[in-house]
Homo-oligomer: A and B are copies of this chain.
Amino acid sequence: MSTAYAALSLPLRREILDQLRAGPATVGDLAEALGVPQAVASKQLGILREAGFVQARADAQRRWYALLPEAFTEVAQWLEPYRWLWEDRLDRLGDRLDQMQEHDQMQEEEQS
């Protein structure tokens, strides 16, 4: 359960991460939002924290959990070499494949 991938293997943990996209939340908030006992939420948050997906900031008795780039970056980087696999299949329609020019000239393209 140490790796980031293993942490993502449980749907509940992915739901927690999805939930945290709305902003930091406490264990109780997440437990209620996802309909699971407090102990379960706490345990899974511990695993997500250990894997580097989230971070806890103490505020008296409560812990505000928030997303952390760490593990996401790890997964994204592993996935990167496979990008061609699905990319030149998704834009199969426009043929305007100017492949991988990620952070080069991303000034004004908000009308995608």
Q: Please report which residues of chain A, range 52-98, place their CB below 8 angstroms from some CB of chain B when the two chains form the complex.
A: 55, 57, 59, 64, 66-69, 72-73, 75-76, 78-79, 81-83, 85-86, 89-91
Known: A9-B5, A100-B57. A79 touches B69 (CB 8 A): no
Which of A's residues lie within 8 Å of B, judged by CB? 3, 5-6, 8-9, 11, 14, 17-18, 21, 23-24, 55, 57, 59, 64, 66-69, 72-73, 75-76, 78-79, 81-83, 85-86, 89-91, 99-104
Instruction: Report B-chain residues with C-beta under 8 Å of the C-beta of A6.
Output: 9
**Residue from the list B9, B68, B81 in contact with A9, Cβ < 8 A:** B9
| CB <8 Å contact, B76 and A86 | yes
Q: How far is the CB of A36 from chain B (nearest CB, A)?
A: 19
